[in-house]
Structure 1
Amino acid sequence: MMKLTRRAFIATAAGAAVFAPRRAFAAFPERPVTIIVPYAAGGAGDMITRLISTAMEKKLGQPIVIDARGGGGGMIGAKAVASAAPDGHTLMMGATNNFVINQFMFPKTSFDPLTEFAPITRVAVVPSVMYMNPSVPVKTLGEFVAHAKANPGKLSYSSPSVGTTPHLAVERLKQLTDIELVHVPYRGAPPAMQALITNDVQLYLAGWGVGRAFVQSGKAKALAVAADQRLPNVPDVPTASESGVPGYVAENWWGLAAPKNTPQEAIDALHEAVKAALADEAVARKLGELGFLPGGETPAQFAKAAKAEAEIWRETVARGKLAVD
């Protein structure tokens, strides 16, 4: 029997490894995939996840388990995903703040989402509709700003939690218009909207799907949409720029991510599953009805966009001295 030199042995082993079956992710996913939404059930993230889950299940061949885990401005759910096994079976459907705001709002947590997660894709962009309680005696956003200036500190606004996009978006509005509004945080989107309906607060920013029924019933008024263009399904609601606040854009988006070090095979499979879901006609139609714009960008594009947006929110938090110790 011929003896192999050490160099020849290594070369032979390496060659065998090339042709060896890649068992680890050949069958991904091997069990149900859990998507943690770090907010209370019933909000935009929960709706989006439920909307795409059926189509994702068809593509992946495994059930999708949705786990609404609110609290801590989304930090509790986010940390649960970050500490999960990096095998692609535990994911986060996070909002803008989970990726590009919380590290500036809560600096002492020493938790940087841009390094703790492996981005998959942004699933949906949610232009913020500015909802007002009908008791406020104004008709436009410009009039609301004027009314707020005439009544400093007497009007309030709600948010799903401290550090969420609806919170920071109104802080940007305050910085742009020099008005005083009192922030009242709640635990999730449903109670934040309910506070507007009962006039405990006078302003709330959320997607069209969250407040549509209340506007249609007359319990809330849609002042403006904080986007570059009017929503296709809500053409009667003007943009913030058209309503007296030029250049004001406040979009919340929802992105899917896995723990860092998740193998690329899993990331790619999940990205393809999301793209397939967004291409489904029924899903696309429902997204439009809710006022959501579909995502689907590549993991690399998602990472690049998030890094750029993080700088905008860093400046907003610093200027408003909003960081929580």
Structure 2
Amino acid sequence: MMRVMTRALRALGAAALLAGASQASAADFPTRPITMIVPFAPGGSTDLVARLVAAKMGETLKQQVLVENRGGAGGNLGAAAVAKADPDGYTILMGTVATHALNPALYKRMPYDAAKDFAPISLLAIVPNVLVVNPNFPAKSVPELVEMLKKEPGKYAYASSGNGTPLHLSGELFKKIGEVDMIHIPYKGAGPALVDVIAGQVPIMFDNLPSSTEHIKSGRLRALGVTTATRAPSFPDVPTIAEGGLAGYDTYTWNALFAPAGTPKEVIDALNAAANQAVADPTVKAKLADFSATVVGSTPEALGEHVQKELAKWAPIVKESGAQID
């Protein structure tokens, strides 16, 4: 009996020590570099936001925040890696509308649960998309484009950065609300799609505003409307698509930080404070404003609610578009 009691006491003592060590490590967080996984290739708007935020978070946390690009499967590979990582705050995800709202509706088999497998940290920024056309295309406004599309259904095509991307679904929402028909041509990224639209191979495109900005300013593209509910500060003269007659049209890309589910609250709080301080930094805000990103910097709870709303919003749109990926 005494031996059994001794073993039990030792087990309890070990558990207490482990719990104490865990609490101490959470309180001391971070004691080594943090890896921020970007689930897309370098060079896109998500990568840009990540590198701006990571650098400033590192200054606040007194530890490096290293950006690691791990693209593939529309963002699923990188997101899954974070979902399966140790819940200690040292591996975090720069998530997007794709990883946490679109992919769950698009993919038949998901390697993670967007709501259950992550601990929200902060909604950092919202980035507008934009409807652009080749400058030689006759339509000079959204109403003119809608009129053309209704007059000759299925004649014109629009480009996007790929099947099931936010830009593809921005086009599908345009078709639904505008009651028009046009052909979708998916590309392997925004870069090659822009090349063909500028060259006149495809007349219409939905794109992230950051990657189209210089082409709009130079006249190589004509912006017909931004996809958000309000106009973009960097292009105040470009109306919203909703202003062009498609009431209720509102799409955008967003960037948010997530940790694996089960990450201690003290660690989440430290990451949240550092992330929000990063996006509030005047230099970071100015760079984000260059491509009309709206800085948010939310609580973890607000990000969790945002994800639920986005999942509910996009599921029926994806279903109606017919887009699905095995």
TM-score by length of 2: 0.89
How big is each residue's C-alpha offset from its partner over 1:51-93, in whole Å with a ceiling of 9 and x where there is no partner?
Answer: 2222111111112222223222212222222222222122211
- Any idea what SS the aligned residue of 1:101 has? helix
Change (3 A) 1:96 1:16: closer
Change (3 A) 1:254 1:18: closer
**What amino acid does structure 1 have at the position aligned with 2:117?**
E
**Residue number in structure 2 paired with 1:42:** 43
The SS at the match of 1:136 is coil
Task: Give 2:282's aligned amino acid.
Answer: E
Residue aligning to 1:230: 231
Distance in 2, Cα, partners of 1:84 & 1:75: 14
Aligned alpha-carbon RMSD (Å): 2.7
Give the superposition deviation at 1:280: 0.8
Pairing of 1:125-274 with structure 2 (within 5 A): 125-274=126-275
Distance of aligned partners of 1:70 and 1:160 in 2 relative to their CA distance in 1, 3 Å threshold: farther
- Which consecutive residues of structure 1, in runs of 5 or more, have no partner in the other structure? none
Q: 1:101–1:313: 8 Å Cα contact kept in structure 2?
A: yes
The 2-side partners of 1:9 and 1:49 are apart by 46
The alpha-carbon deviation at position 207 of structure 1 amounts to: 3.3
Q: Given the superposition, is the C-alpha separation of residues 119 and 17 from structure 1 closer, same or farther in structure 2, using an over 3 Å criterion? A: closer
Mapped partners of 1:39, 1:98: distance in 2: 10
Per the alignment, in what secondary structure is the counterpart of residue 109 of structure 2? helix
- Please state how far the C-alpha of 1:218 moved relative to its aligned partner: 1.2
Conserved 8 A contact 2:161-2:193: yes
1:21/1:131 Cα in 2 relative to 1: closer, same or farther (>3 Å)? Answer: closer
Paired letter, 1:218: G
Q: Aligned partners of 1:18 and 1:88: how far apart in 2?
A: 17
Structure 2 CA distance for partners of 1:198 and 1:29, relative to 1, 3 Å: farther
Tell me the amino acid that sits aligned with residue 39 of structure 2.
P
C-alpha distance in structure 2 between counterparts of 1:186 and 1:70, whole Å? 16
- Structure 1 residue 19: Cα displacement: 8.1
CA contact (8 A) 1:159 1:192 kept: yes
- Percent sequence identity over matched residues? 36
SS at match of 2:143: helix
Q: Deviations over 1:123-168 (max 9, x none)?
A: 1101222122223211001111222233333322233332221111
Q: Structure 2 vs 1, CA of residues 191 and 256 (structure 1 numbering), >3 Å: closer, same or farther?
A: farther
Report which stretch shifted further, 249-258 or 10-19.
Answer: 10-19
